[in-house]
Homo-oligomer: A and B are copies of this chain.
Amino acid sequence: MTDARPAPAEPRWLTGAEMTTWLNITQLLMVLPTALDRQLRDDAGLTHAHYRILAMLSAESDGSMRMTRLARKTGTTTTRLSHAVSALEERGWVERRACATDKRGQVAGLTDEGHAFLRTAAPGHVAEVRRLVFDHLTDEDVTRLGEITAKLLPVLTD
């Protein structure tokens, strides 16, 4: 007398410890980006997502990167990146170029103004990151947090 249809699986709910941690994580997901955006907006006039694009480009030896790769590196979609680069282009911080080896491709590159702007904005931002995050963590916390986040990223980035 068993039911042929698969029973609607009783979901495995979160344990107490998991729920506590999850509430902390989701709260952090809400407030940390907001805090980073606020500092950058007030002091430099852009969002954290846009700042990250500039920062990621400046880490490249030639200050430029293919759009799709840049999107993956910054954890965003090509759509979002396309809009963002348009905005950054209007500000004169980024330029689009055609890709030499792939005619579909576009390359986003930091302009001199972009480099200069980043040098101006970085110290204040780093100070805020310290104030909000690293000032409250021990070296071991930092290592552990690095390890734990490293475990989570693979599933989320494909």
Contacts and interface: CB of A to CB of B under 8 A. Distances in A.
A11 interface: yes
Number of this chain's copies in the assembly equals 2
Contact of A132 (B12, B137, B152): B152
Given A26-B75, A145-B25, A148-B137, A156 B18 contact: no
Given A11-B126, A24-B149, A145-B148, 13 more contacts: A14-B130, A14-B134, A17-B146, A22-B133, A24-B150, A29-B33, A30-B49, A31-B157, A35-B156, A131-B155, A137-B148, A141-B151, A144-B148
Given A141-B151, A152-B132, A152-B133, A157 B27 contact: yes
Q: Please classify how large the interface on chain A is, using the bins under 10, 10 to 19, 20 to 34, 35 or more.
A: 35 or more
Given A11-B126, A76-B30, A141 B148 contact: yes
A136 B18 CA distance: 12
A126 B90 CA distance: 42
7 contacts: A11-B127, A14-B129, A28-B152, A29-B32, A29-B75, A31-B157, A34-B77
A111 interface: no
Nearest to A135: B155
A131 B144 CA distance: 21
Contacts of A126: 11-14
